[in-house]
Structures are given as C-alpha cells and as structure tokens.
C-alpha cells in the first residue's frame, strides 16, 4: 500500500532557511543544504522549498541552493515561490526540482496551470493555496497571505485540478503557527471536493496531530516546518509512532 508522506518545508530567503510565525517575524534557522541533507537522512519523504526572495540576486542564490540539494538528496523536491510564468517552471525544473508549486501566480493568471500541465505534465504542477476563514467561508489569500482575494478556496482547488494541477497543498492560515493540530474541517471539505493528492499544511505541533491528520484516509501527506527545524518533532520517531498506529509509512 502507498505510504503517507512526511514533508519538511524550507522557506528560503537569500539562500538561507527562515520560518515565520503566522507569516510574520521571520527568523534565521539553518543552512538549507545541510538541513536538506539532514532531513533526507532522517527519512523525510519529500522536501518542499519556498523561495521567498524578492531580489534577482537572491533568486540566483536559490538556484545554487537547489542544485546543491538535488545533487545530494535523492528524494522528490518541490519548489515554489514567485512562480509566475513557464520560464519560472523551466528555471527550477532544469536545476533539480521535480514539482513546481504555484500560488499567487496562478491566482493572477489561472491559465498558467493549464499551460504548465500541458508542457510538463500534471504531476509537475502543484497548486498551493493559503486559506483562511472569513465570515465562516474558506477564502483564498494571495501574496504570502497578505491579500484576501475573495475567492472561495474549495472552488479554487476544484478549478485548479480541472485545469491540470496534479496535487494540492492546503495551507490553513487559521491553524498555521498555532501548533494545535491541522485544520481537519477544512481538509475534510477539500478532500470531498478534489481527487488529486492533498498535502496538509499548517498547525502541526506534535506526533499526535499527524495521527489525527491521517485518520482522514484521503489526505496523502503532512507538511510542517518549525517543529522539524527546531527538533520539537523528530521525523524517525514520528514515522515509527505513525507506523505503530497502523499508518503506512516508508521504511528506510
């Protein structure tokens, strides 16, 4: 049976890993290449990198980081951050990425999803959505969670999959950084709506939260950052705990 995936996420700015709390107050954590190698050895099933650099200089540092990671960690690598065009897809796919995650770029121009899926295949196109409840409705937020687009998040996920997205990263802004568990109501609604793999993000604080997450059989992966970076949860112990509780896990 296919294993559930545990995915550490690395936010990279100017070639360094950062992690925010509710997207604000970023603080430096580690060197991305050594962190990636560490996670690979620990049994991470995949790595996600978000390039949150604004400058062209920082962007070329990111490509250097990506190439170095991809020549040391032989597991799937997903890259996101400021992906607005097919040229952006090309840049990261040629430098070791296996999948590309689109967010604000797809909101600005949804045809990007179709064009990318046609050129690189759906398996390369990940739609990442920042989601927050506004008056009880799940809304899509753009620009790193700063701007409410007013778009219904469940509709947007469905639309993205219809256009060719092969996977969804659902990042709940309501649970992000709070460490009280994943946003299970959101994930239940979302998994009813779309048939592609779903990566849950935002809210993991303990091993138990991952067990709760995979109680929904339609969730494929759990993503987290700070709890892994700060070693609050260790991946080998987490995977052992989940396996003992009947969740299919990849054995090293």
Partner 1 sequence: MITIVDYGVGNLFSLESGLSSLGLSSEVTGDAERVSRAERIILPGVGAFGDAMRKLNEKGLSTALQSAARARIPILGICLGMQLLFEESHEFGLHEGLGLIPGAVAPLENDLREKGFDYKVPHMGWNPLTIKRRDCPLLKYIKDGTHVYYVHSFYAKNCDRFIAAQSEYGVLTPGLVWNGGVFGSQFHPEKSGTPGLTILKAFAEAVL
What is the smallest separation between the CB atom of 87 and partner 1, expressed in angstroms? 15
- Give the up-direction half-sphere exposure of residue 2: CA atoms within 13 A in the CB hemisphere: 9
Question: In the Cβ-directed half-sphere of 133, how many Cα atoms lie within 13 Å?
Answer: 10
> Is 220 considered catalytic here?
no
Tell me whether residue 32 or residue 96 sits nearer to partner 1 (CB atom): 96
Number of residues that bind partner 1 (CB under 8 A): 34
Does the protein bind partner 1 through residue 3 (CB under 8 A)?
Answer: yes
List the catalytic residue out of 45, 51, 88, 130: 130
DSSP string, 89-119: HHHHHTTT-SEEEESHHHHH-THHHHHHHHH
Using the contact rule CB under 8 A, the part of the chain among 19-27, 136-144, 178-186, 244-252 near partner 1 is: 244-252
Site track for partner 1 across 196-225, x = CB under 8 A: xx----------------------xx----
CA distances (Å), 245 to each of 68, 215, 218, in order?
Answer: 36, 10, 17
Q: Please give the residues from 46 up to 75 whose contact with partner 1 meets the rule CB under 8 A.
A: 67, 70-72, 74-75
Binding status of residue 185 toward partner 1 by CB under 8 A? no
Closer CB to partner 1, 27 or 87, in the complex: 87
Residue 11 catalytic? Answer: yes
Are 169 and 223 contacting, i.e. CB atoms less than 8 angstroms apart? yes
C-alpha distances in angstroms, 212 versus 146, 154, 180, 187, 235? 29, 21, 11, 11, 16
Q: Which of 76, 110, 144, 181 binds partner 1 (CB under 8 A)?
A: 76
How far apart are CB 64 and partner 1 at their closest, in Å? 13
- Residues 21-50 interacting with partner 1 (rule: CB under 8 A): 40, 45
Residue 128 token pair: 């990442």
What x-and-dash track marks residues 97-126 binding partner 1 by CB under 8 A? xx---------------------xxxxx--
Instruction: Give CA–CA dist 101/170, Å, rounded.
Output: 12
Counting every residue written for the chain, the total comes to 252
CA distances from 136 to 101, 139, 152, 194, 236 (A): 27, 9, 11, 21, 37
Please, what is the minimum distance in Å from the beta carbon of residue 211 to partner 1? Answer: 18
Position 169 contacts partner 1 (CB under 8 A)? no
Residue 217, Cβ density class (10 Å: 0-12 exposed, 13-18 middle, ≥19 buried): exposed
Kindly tell me which residue out of 94, 143, 146, 208 binds partner 1, with binding defined by CB under 8 A: 94
| Residues tagged active-site | 11, 130
Residues that bind partner 1 (CB under 8 A): 1-3, 5, 40, 45, 67, 70-72, 74-76, 93-98, 120-124, 166-167, 195-197, 220-221, 250-252
């Amino acid at each position: 049976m296919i294993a559930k995936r545990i995915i550490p996420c690395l936010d990279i700015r100017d070639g360094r890993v950062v992690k925010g709390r509710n997207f604000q107050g970023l603080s430096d954590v580690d060197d991305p290449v050594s962190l990636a190698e560490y996670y690979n050895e620990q049994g991470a099933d995949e790595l996600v990198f978000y390039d949150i650099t604004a400058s062209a200089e920082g962007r070329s540092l990111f490509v250097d980081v990506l190439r170095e990671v991809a020549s040391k960690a032989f597991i799937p690598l997903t890259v996101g951050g400021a992906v607005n065009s097919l040229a952006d897809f090309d840049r990261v796919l040629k430098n070791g990425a296996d999948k590309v995650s689109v967010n604000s770029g797809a909101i600005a121009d949804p045809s990007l999803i179709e064009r990318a899926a046609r050129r690189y295949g759906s398996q390369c196109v990940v739609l990442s959505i920042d989601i927050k409840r506004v008056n009880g409705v799940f809304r899509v937020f753009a620009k790193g969670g700063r701007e409410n687009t007013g778009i219904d998040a469940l509709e947007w996920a469905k639309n993205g999959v219809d256009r060719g997205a092969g996977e969804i990263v659902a990042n709940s802004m309501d649970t992000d950084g709070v460490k009280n568990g994943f946003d299970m109501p959101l994930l239940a609604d979302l998994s009813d709506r779309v048939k592609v793999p779903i990566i849950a993000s935002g809210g993991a604080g303990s091993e138990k939260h991952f067990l709760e997450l995979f109680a929904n059989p339609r969730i494929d992966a759990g993503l987290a950052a700070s709890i892994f970076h700060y070693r609050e949860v260790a991946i080998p112990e987490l995977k052992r705990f989940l396996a003992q509780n009947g969740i299919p896990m990849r054995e090293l």
